[in-house]
């Protein structure tokens, strides 16, 4: 297998990666055949996966614009993945060139590519760290040098929490991150669920099985469980809703059915 020049040393390119599979769904070029093969297997069960991923990104962009409109100009994007067109710093800087953005991911390919994209950008950086270790993120030089935690921050947890199993205590990790933020901070969450997917649950379970087989379990949580990530904050209107229904830019009824998969919401820390 030919090894592209942009791949960091030490990366086993024979093992599928969640962030590279996501990149493939979004039409990106930073993925390998092993990632594409896993993605195609998952799509055999849920053909609308690319539409779901596009809806994830669209929610992220709406959440960033909402934050800027609320006067929150610092962004901590955890599980940020491989940068593609319309990423957080591009959306934020289009609205406010002085906005500060820190990307966080534990995938070395995502981190390396983010560094290349952000080279020369004084208002955006990337940290190699894991959501399951909040202090590693909060105490990193990149966060300390870029973000003022005494001022409101928009914490973005878009399509990452469903890759953290309950045994790894995702609710405790989010609570620790939220506790570290100033009052008025925003917490944006987008999470996979069986609810809303226009297919029988038994069929979607096949997709869940593909992720389990590549040792990246996909944890489908209920609306009530996902609401638990907002403990310590108050949901802003319209609350926790199907992904495409959070402050949509197209009228109800015109959205793609797959955009209503899972749940999304934004909370404000009191």
Show the 3-state SS of 240-261. Answer: CEEHHHCCCCCCCCCCCHHHHC
Q: What is the Cα–Cα distance from 246 to 239, expressed in whole angstroms?
A: 8
Q: Could you tell me what percentage of the chain is helix, strand and coil, using 3-state DSSP and rounding each to the nearest 5? A: 45, 15, 45
Residue from 51, 55, 46, 57 nearest 210 by CA: 46
Provide the pLDDT for residue 207.
Answer: 97
Provide the pLDDT for residue 1.
Answer: 55
Provide the pLDDT for residue 149.
Answer: 97
Locus of tokens 């055999």: 44
pLDDT digits (tens, 9 = 90+) for 14-44: 889 899 999 999 998 888 899 999 999 999 9
Q: Which residues fall within 8 angstroms of residue 139, CB to CB, at 6 or more apart?
A: none
Q: What are phi and psi of 66, to 5 degrees?
A: -60, -45
Q: Which two tokens stand for residue 216?
A: 């990246």
Q: What are phi and psi of 157, to 5 degrees?
A: -125, 70
Provide the pLDDT for residue 252.
Answer: 67
Question: What CATH topology corresponds to 18-269?
Answer: Rossmann fold (3.40.50)
> Per-domain residue ranges for the chain?
18-269
**From the first residue on, what is the mean pLDDT of each consecutive set of 10 residues in the chain (270 residues)?**
69 86 91 94 97 95 98 97 88 96 92 88 96 97 97 97 96 98 98 96 96 93 98 96 92 81 97
Provide the pLDDT for residue 135.
Answer: 97
- Angstrom CA distances, 257 to 27, 62, 138, 248, stand at 20, 19, 37, 13
Q: Which two tokens stand for residue 233?
A: 């904050």
Provide the pLDDT for residue 61.
Answer: 96
């Amino acid at each position: 297998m030919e090894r592209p020049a942009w791949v960091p040393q030490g990366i086993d390119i024979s093992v599928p990666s969640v962030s590279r599979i996501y990149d493939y769904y979004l039409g990106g070029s930073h993925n390998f055949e092993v990632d594409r093969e896993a993605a195609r297997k998952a799509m055999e069960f849920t053909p609308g996966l690319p539409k779901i991923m596009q809806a994830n990104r669209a929610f992220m962009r709406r959440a960033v614009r909402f934050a800027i409109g609320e006067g929150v100009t610092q962004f901590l994007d955890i599980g940020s993945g491989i940068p593609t067109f319309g990423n957080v710093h591009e959306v934020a800087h289009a609205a406010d060139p002085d906005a500060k953005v820190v990307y966080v991911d534990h995938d070395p390919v995502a981190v390396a590519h983010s560094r290349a994209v952000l080279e020369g950008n004084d208002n955006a950086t990337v940290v190699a760290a894991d959501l399951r270790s909040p202090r590693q993120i909060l105490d990193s030089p990149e966060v300390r040098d870029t973000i003022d935690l005494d001022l409101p921050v928009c914490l973005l947890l878009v399509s990452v929490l469903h890759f953290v199993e309950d045994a790894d205590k995702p609710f405790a990790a989010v609570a620790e991150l939220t506790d570290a933020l100033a009052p008025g901070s925003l917490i944006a969450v987008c999470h996979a669920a069986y609810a809303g997917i226009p297919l029988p649950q038994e069929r979607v379970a096949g997709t869940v099985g593909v992720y389990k087989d590549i040792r990246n379990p996909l944890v489908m949580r209920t609306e009530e469980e996902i609401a638990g990530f907002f403990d310590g904050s108050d949901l802003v209107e319209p609350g926790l809703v199907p992904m495409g229904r959070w402050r949509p830019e197209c009228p109800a009824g015109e959205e793609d059915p797959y955009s209503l998969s899972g749940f999304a919401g934004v909370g404000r820390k009191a």
